[in-house]
């Protein structure tokens, strides 16, 4: 009896302890809620060095810390950032950027034209690769390849402390979009970004926020008092929190421990939409298949490509990513329809496509019967991501069941991917293309791509599968969200609903 009483007492004490912890946690949440937005992510970035493979959510943080001359709005328009305005000459060969007044680094030092000269000298140096998109600037190619000096050859020039002039080799319609890319945001090129977790106190920023603290599971961002925009949102602090699995993250959102969440189980997307907790943002990104144009490849037969297209172009409506709004049927188009200047999202049910699916299946079967397909497996190459695994498995299964076409899937790292493309060790490639940032033709890694633009689509060397959407869950506290290009969240413009 005495032993039983002891056990009961222990249970009561433990229960009291946990009850006390929960109440204390609730009190802390109320205090933090008044000035802090919590954003849940799968994991915190190991580095903020842009030469590493940063995720879109990593870029959320990077773009909150740094600004460039210009930035890309959600509707695809390029507007001034640190540059208040810019002018382009009639022949498109000269750009003049006028810096804003009252621009400061986070340490209080004024930002001027010399900072941009230093930045471009460092980012375009032979030590840095991946800057070929600025080769249209006079002298950049030779400088980046180590053939000349920056001072004598590169036409990025200081006019005065607040004015910068850039002279081009040739007219480049994509130049201003290129400057809006995150990698060209003004910053100090040093090891601090690479080791930001340990060295965040020495990180000097040009964007709306700076880092106040980093621990194992959280990054604390604090709004800068000396940022040029004073009234851009009503938040003071942002916590970037590692939430673990999608299921745990969703529970955190429902318990209002997290205010903004991107990764939820796709099976829950319709439920969250009905609860008015889900935002669907159309991205200017199309998921497509590109075929190998090498004459030795079996897919060089246009009828085989047609059979593949008809096997999947409507069947894609049954893919979970599409049914749950992360992807939207493209109907073979390479650019979304627009309405009043904004990309349009349409939410359709699978039943809408049943008739088209059946017609496409029958056509695929008829085509495959008419050609000499010997059953050799076709290699489908893609970067190793969860989305690509899901769509690759779906394509392989659909082609096998509908047309009897065998597929070998090769998911690989970015480095392996590039090498296999060069070596022609693929039949099909699964890719993403941003049609607003650049012309999708110009980004393909095939030597004769620009000389064969029209025939690429007509001859079915490119097949559009679906447009990508960004799904964002938010608590009732968050009133407004906006994005840069590629679904990067614009942290500085988050608006909190006032009580």
- Mean of pLDDT values over 337-357: 60
Q: How many CB atoms lie within 10 A of CB 276?
A: 9
**Which percentage of the chain shows pLDDT scores above 70?**
84
- φ, ψ of residue 28 to 5 degrees: the values are -60, -40
Please list, in sequence order, all residues whose beta carbon lies within 8 angstroms of the beta carbon of residue 176, skipping any fewer than 6 positions away. Answer: 70, 78, 86, 88, 95
> Max alpha carbon distance in the chain (Å)?
96
Q: Are residues 324 and 400 in the same domain?
A: yes
pLDDT of residue 172: 92
Q: Which two tokens stand for residue 405?
A: 């076409």
Q: Which of 184, 212, 243 is the C-terminal boundary of a domain?
A: 184
Please determine, for residue 12, whether its predicted confidence score (pLDDT) is greater than 50. no
Q: Residue 347 in contact with residue 486, Cβ under 8 Å?
A: no
pLDDT at 325: 83
Same domain, 81 and 198: no
Domain boundary among 151, 184, 217: 184
Same domain? 173 vs 234: no
Helix (H) or strand (E) holding 79: strand 78-80
Average pLDDT of the residues in 188-194: 92
Q: Are residues 371 and 256 in the same domain?
A: no
Q: Are residues 218 and 158 in the same domain?
A: no
**18 pLDDT exceeds 60?**
no
In angstroms, the CA 398 to CA 312 distance is 7
Cα three-residue angle 81-86-90, rounded to 5 degrees: 155
Q: In this predicted structure, what is the pLDDT of residue 107? A: 96
231 or 163, higher pLDDT: 163
pLDDT, position 29: 31
Q: Tell me if 127 is assigned to some domain.
A: yes
Q: 36-41 and 237-242: which strand pairing?
A: parallel
On average, the pLDDT of the chain sits at 83
Tell me if 458 sits within 8 A of 452, measured CB to CB: no
CB 343 within 8 A of CB 478: no
409 and 297 within one domain: yes
- Last residue of a domain, which of 169, 184, 199? 184
Handedness of CA 380, 381, 386, 387 (dihedral sign): negative
pLDDT in tens, 440-481: 334 444 333 334 444 555 667 888 898 888 888 888 888 888
Tokens of 129: 């690769």
Selected residue with higher pLDDT from 427 and 438? 427
Q: What is the pLDDT of residue 484?
A: 80
Q: Where are the beta strands (DSSP E) in 11-74?
A: 36-41, 70-72
Ordered DSSP codes for 468-488: EEEEEEE-TTEEE--B-GGG-
Residues 387 and 239 in one domain: no
Higher-confidence residue of 210 and 263: namely: 210
The structure tokens listed for 138 are: 């006079």
Residues 220 and 154 in one domain: no
Strands across the sheet containing 83-88? 83-88, 94-99, 163-167, 156-160
Tokens of 270: 């319709």
Query: For residue 22, what pLDDT band results from cuts at 50, 70 and 90?
Result: very low
CB 238 within 8 A of CB 59: no
Q: How far apart are CA 208 and CA 64, in angstroms?
A: 6
Specify whether the backbone of 19 is left (phi greater than 0), alpha (psi in -120 to 50) or beta: alpha
pLDDT at 240 exceeding the cut of 80: yes
Residue 11 tokens, joined: 């249970």
Cα separation of 328 and 351, whole Å?
15
**Separation between Cα atoms, residue 154 and residue 132, nearest integer Å:** 14
d(CA 361, CA 399): 10
**Which position has the higher pLDDT, 345 or 402?**
402
> How confident is the model at residue 248, as a pLDDT?
78
- Give strand pairing partners of 100: none
Lookup result for tokens 């008015």: 276
pLDDT at 478: 87
Asked whether the beta carbons of 169 and 136 are under 8 A apart, the reply is yes
Same domain, 171 and 255: no
Does residue 287 have a pLDDT over 50? Answer: yes
Asked if residue 460 belongs to a domain, the reply is yes
Work out how many domains the chain is built from and give that number.
Answer: 3
**pLDDT band at residue 486 under the 50/70/90 scheme:** low
- Predicted TM-score (pTM) of the model is 0.76
Is 273 among the domain residues? yes
pLDDT bin (cut points 50, 70, 90) of residue 110 is very high
What pLDDT digit, counting tens, does each position of 403-425 carry?
999 999 999 988 899 899 989 99
Answer with the residue of higher pLDDT: 290 or 32.
290
Evaluate whether 119 touches 125 at the Cβ level (below 8 Å): no
State the DSSP H helix or E strand holding residue 422, giving kind and residue range, or none if neither.
helix 414-422
Residue 335 binned pLDDT confidence (cut-offs 50, 70, 90): confident
Strands 495-496 and 478-480: antiparallel
Domain span at 255: 191-277+475-496
Q: What is the pLDDT of residue 447?
A: 34
Domain identity same for 329 and 297: yes
Tell me the CATH number at 398: 3.10.105.10
Does residue 258 contact residue 243 with C-beta atoms inside 8 Å? yes
Helices (H), 340-413: 354-370, 386-403
């Amino acid at each position: 009896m005495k032993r039983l009483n002891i056990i009961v007492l222990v249970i009561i004490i433990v229960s009291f302890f946990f009850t006390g912890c929960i109440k204390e946690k609730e009190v802390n949440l109320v205090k933090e809620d008044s000035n802090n937005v919590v954003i849940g992510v799968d994991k915190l970035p190991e580095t903020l060095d842009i030469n590493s493979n940063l995720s879109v959510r990593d870029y959320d943080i990077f773009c909150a810390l740094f600004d460039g001359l210009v930035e890309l709005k959600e509707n695809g328009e390029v507007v001034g950032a640190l540059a208040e305005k810019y002018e382009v000459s009639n022949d498109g060969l000269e750009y003049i950027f006028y810096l804003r007044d009252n621009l400061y680094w986070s340490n209080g030092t004024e930002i001027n034209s010399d900072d941009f000269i230093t930045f471009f000298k460092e980012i375009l140096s032979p030590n840095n690769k991946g800057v070929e998109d600025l080769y249209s600037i006079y002298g950049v190619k030779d400088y980046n390849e180590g053939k000349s000096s920056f001072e004598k050859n590169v036409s990025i020039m200081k006019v005065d402390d607040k004015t910068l002039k850039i002279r081009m080799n040739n007219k480049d319609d994509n130049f201003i979009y290129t400057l809006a890319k995150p990698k060209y945001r003004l910053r100090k090129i040093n090891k601090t970004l690479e080791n930001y977790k340990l060295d965040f106190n020495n990180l000097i920023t040009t964007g709306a926020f700076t880092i106040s603290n980093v621990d194992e599971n959280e990054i604390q961002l604090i709004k800068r008092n000396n940022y040029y925009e004073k009234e851009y949102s009503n938040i003071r602090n942002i916590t970037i929190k590692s939430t673990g699995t999608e299921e745990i993250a969703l529970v955190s959102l429902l318990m209002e421990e997290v205010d903004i969440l991107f990764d939820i189980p796709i099976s829950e997307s319709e439920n969250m939409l009905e609860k008015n907790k889900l935002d669907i943002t159309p991205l200017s990104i199309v998921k497509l298949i590109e075929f190998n144009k090498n004459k030795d490849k079996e897919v060089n037969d246009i009828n085989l490509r047609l059979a593949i297209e008809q096997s999947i172009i409507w069947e894609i409506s049954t893919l979970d990513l599409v049914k749950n709004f992360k992807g939207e049927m493209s109907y073979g188009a390479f650019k979304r329809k627009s309405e009043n200047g904004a990309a349009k999202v349409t939410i359709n049910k699978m039943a809408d496509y049943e008739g088209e699916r059946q017609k496409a299946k029958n056509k695929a079967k008829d085509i495959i019967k008419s050609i000499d397909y010997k059953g050799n497996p076709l290699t489908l190459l893609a970067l190793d991501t969860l989305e690509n695994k899901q769509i690759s498995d779906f394509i392989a299964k659909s082609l096998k069941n509908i047309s009897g076409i065998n597929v070998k899937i090769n998911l690989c790292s970015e480095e392996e991917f590039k090498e296999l493309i060069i070596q022609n060790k693929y039949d099909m490639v699964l890719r993403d293309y941003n049609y607003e940032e650049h012309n999708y033709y110009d980004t393909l890694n095939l030597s004769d791509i620009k000389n064969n633009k029209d025939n690429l689509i007509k001859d079915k060397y490119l097949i559009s599968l679906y447009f990508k959407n960004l799904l964002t869950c938010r608590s009732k506290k968050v009133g407004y969200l906006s994005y840069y290009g590629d679904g990067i969240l614009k942290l500085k413009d988050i608006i909190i609903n006032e009580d």
